[in-house]
Amino acid sequence: MTRCARERRVYYVEEPIVDADAKPYLELQRHDGVTIAVPHLDRAGREDDHLRTLRALLLELIAKERIHRYVHWYYTPMALAFTSHLKPRTVVYDCMDELSAFAHAPAALTRREAELLRRASVVFTGGQSLYEAKRGRHPNVHAFPSSVDVPHFARARQIDVDPPDQAGIPRPRLGFFGVIDERMDIELVAAVAAARPEWSIVLVGPVVKIDPSQLPRAANIYYLGQKSYDQLPDYIAGWDVAMLPFARNDATRFISPTKTPEYMAAGKPVVSTSIRDVIRPYGQQGLVRIADTVGDFVVACEASMADDPIARMRDADAFLRQTSWDGTWTRMRHFIEAALAGAAASSDAAAAG
């Protein structure tokens, strides 16, 4: 979105926060050219009230910001509930996950996605597996596997001072950053920590949708909480292995973890469970070690720590030169402009008829 914002105005509507004691309002924040709109809704309101309020807040935003010709870009089909009354020039569905497979997914999600696929002119998927799942449901689907801001994460290669909350953790360290939820194989994490008590397991990120009491606890497992995007290179710089300990379940069947190339850009060896979009292409090209059992995961981590870091980073850099967010946006813009041209042609034909 920051790349898109270099060329046009971008308004990113966040999930609403139910915390308003009086009148609901829309909080606007500016970040790298993107306007982030955070709805604050009435605590006493019901779901129908909240949807009416969201519709009204968006209409106010469009009027106040004098937005006349716009594209709708959806990351979740559930947003249709409060945007279906608007009249965009075209609709983009950026399908980053199979959300219906996540824990506590709304019952209406599948129906909403079917509606969004009918409305969308172009569909992007966050990985090859998702593309294969969606390509039969829409005539204009394109895969966009995770890209990476290489300079941002490559900073980790030059950092030699730990953040205060990581500085006292013994090495070697096996690290993970990201949301800690039902997608993480917590049994695997616990078993690796038990198998190698001299290793430290460092987990950076918020705990979401699972009971924190269910998380593995051990003297060598450290939960450091959520960090900002800007802070991530500071933490990964102090790891010896970067992990992707994902469970193999419905929620991970179609994921394409963005952190895979981010770990590589940071110069770290990566060990992952057998997630399809990690196996292809990273595992197949020898850039990431794949292991599912506790024994195999431990062996893979040991082999990673024995790697020649210069050779590993050379191979990673060669791969990463093929991808960038700038390149991703350039390709996406091409498909969006084609959709806009098609919509304009259809409108002209309808007017002429």
What does the pLDDT look like over 184-241, one tens digit per residue? 999 999 999 999 999 999 999 999 989 999 999 999 999 999 999 999 999 999 999 9
Task: Judge whether 174 and 240 are in contact, CB under 8 Å.
Answer: yes
Residue 9 has pLDDT above 90, yes or no: yes
Nearest Cα to Cα of residue 205 among 158, 167, 259? 259
| 53/276 Cα distance (integer angstroms) | 41
Burial of 176 (0-12, 13-18, 19+ CB in 10 A): buried
Question: Between the ranges 39-48, 138-147, 301-310, 321-330, where is the mean pLDDT highest?
Answer: 301-310
Mean pLDDT of 144-171: 95
Mean pLDDT of 148-159: 96
Mean pLDDT of 268-296: 96
Residue 348 has pLDDT above 70, yes or no: no
Residues in the chain: 353
pLDDT tens for residues 49-104? 899 999 999 999 999 999 999 999 999 999 999 999 999 999 999 998 888 877 77
Residue 347 has pLDDT above 70, yes or no: no
Q: What share of the chain is helix, strand, coil (3-state, %, to 5)?
A: 45, 20, 35
How are beta strands 141-143 and 289-290 bridged, if at all?
unpaired
The domain 4-147+325-352: what is its CATH number?
3.40.50.2000
| 54/18 Cα distance (integer angstroms) | 12
Mean pLDDT of 310-322: 95
As assigned by CATH, the class of the 150-320 domain is: alpha beta
Q: pLDDT: is 351 or 263 the higher one?
A: 263
Quote the mean pLDDT of the chain.
Answer: 93
Residue 349 has pLDDT above 70, yes or no: no
- Determine the pLDDT at residue 351: 61
**Model pTM?**
0.82
Task: Judge whether 147 and 261 are in contact, CB under 8 Å.
Answer: yes
Same fold, 4-147+325-352 and 150-320: yes
Listed by start position, the domains of the chain span 4-147+325-352, 150-320
